[in-house]
Amino acid sequence: MSTRILALDHGTVRIGVAISDDMLMIAQPEPYVPAEPPEAIE
């Protein structure tokens, strides 16, 4: 089993996502997630 790191960058409009390679040297971007205002979360 390999270890990888997931990075999240929480912004006001979207949440950036990146994941490291198996050697923990380089992070590759993944599709972003739209950020929801706190009132929208139920």
d(CA 8, CA 11) in angstroms, rounded, equals 9
d(CA 25, CA 27) in angstroms, rounded, equals 7
Going residue by residue through the chain (42 aa), what tens digit of pLDDT does each one get?
Answer: 689 999 999 998 999 999 999 999 999 999 999 998 767 666
Contact status, residue 33 vs residue 17, Cβ threshold 8 Å? yes
What predicted TM-score, i.e. pTM, was given to this entire model? 0.73
Backbone angles phi, psi at 28, to 5 degrees: -110, 135
d(CA 27, CA 29) in angstroms, rounded, equals 7
